[in-house]
Amino acid sequence: MLHIIAVVAQIYREWNPSSISKVHGYVAYATESEKMTQNLEDLRVRRTRKLLQKALLEAASEKGFAHVTVRDITDRAMVNRATFYRHYEDKYDLLAHYVEELSGFIDTGEGETSTSNESLPSLNTPPYGLVKLLRHMQNNAHFYRVMLGTQGDPTFCAQSFRRYVEEGYRRILAAQSSVSDPNRPPVDLTVNYLMDAGVGAIVWWLENDQQYSPEQMANWLYKLSMASINVSLGLDKE
């Protein structure tokens, strides 16, 4: 009987509320520690990726993207090749991720007025995302001169600008072209024309040492684009 009482007392000591609270405390501490470790790991990943992106921009600016190797990138970033391949498949994958982050940067805080179904946006108000894009390109002018030129990557232009430009133009065109008109150019033709013209204008701006501010260029590009859209929709005759 005394033996049974002793066993029960031992169980109570091991599982009393105080012990349970301690266990909960240990669990909470372990969870918080895991979160801190994960945050540190995330910071290391972001830092490594930023170093690799920066190295890509610098190497492509000097040698042209076609001549850049993974070793060029890792040497500049001062990381080993194994680290590079933990994050990216090759230089094209690195470039694609850079473009994806650029698109997210442009989309953040757009601040543009939504398009009404009754009227086109004001010609005096270019999308804020366009201003942000041009500011970014001005800060990395040499890289974009190379990438959009003959030493660049043919798909870079489409990856960089197509989604942003195409989505914006399609929203405007869709809002205005509810009535089918066989004399109007197809939407795809209009979008591709506007995109190629816009990229050509940006290349001209970069090659002429950005004599005009990003804000002024955004304003001009937007006015030219909206004028072309008006012609495409037949609104210039109204």
Structural fold of domain 19-88: Arc Repressor Mutant, subunit A (1.10.10)
One-letter amino acid at 168 equals G
* b/e code 107-140 from CB counts within 10 Å (16+ = b): eeeeeeeeeeeeeebeeeebbbbbbbbbeebbee
Does CATH place domain 92-237 in 3.40.228.10?
A: no
Longest dimension (CA), the chain: 106
Q: Which of 11-20, 47-56, 100-109, 173-182 has the lowest mean pLDDT?
A: 11-20
Better-scored residue on pLDDT, 70 or 129: 70
Distance of alpha carbon 133 from alpha carbon 168, whole angstroms: 14
Give 199-230 pLDDT, tens digit per residue: 889 989 999 999 999 999 999 998 888 888 88
Compute the radius of gyration of the chain from its Cα atoms: 28
Question: What's the rounded mean pLDDT across residues 63-78?
Answer: 94
Distance of alpha carbon 58 from alpha carbon 61, whole angstroms: 5
List the chain domain ranges. 19-88, 92-237
Helix segments in the chain, DSSP class H? 2-15, 17-63, 70-77, 81-87, 91-107, 128-139, 141-147, 154-176, 187-207, 214-233
Q: pLDDT-based confidence at 172, cuts 50/70/90?
A: low
Q: pLDDT-based confidence at 101, cuts 50/70/90?
A: confident
Tokens 């540190």, located at residue: 40
Q: Which of 71-75, 81-85, 176-180, 221-225 has the lowest mean pLDDT?
A: 176-180
Better-scored residue on pLDDT, 160 or 182: 182
The Cβ of residue 59 has, within 10 Å, a number of other Cβ atoms equal to 22
CB 73 within 8 A of CB 55: yes
pLDDT of residue 177: 56
Give 12-68 pLDDT, tens digit per residue: 455 455 555 555 555 555 566 666 666 667 888 899 999 999 999 999 989 889 899
Q: Which of 39-43, 108-112, 170-174 has the lowest mean pLDDT?
A: 108-112
pLDDT of residue 210: 93
For the chain, how many residues are written?
238
Give 127-170 pLDDT, tens digit per residue: 888 898 899 999 989 888 888 877 777 667 666 666 666 776 77
pLDDT at 1 over 60: no
pLDDT of residue 128: 84
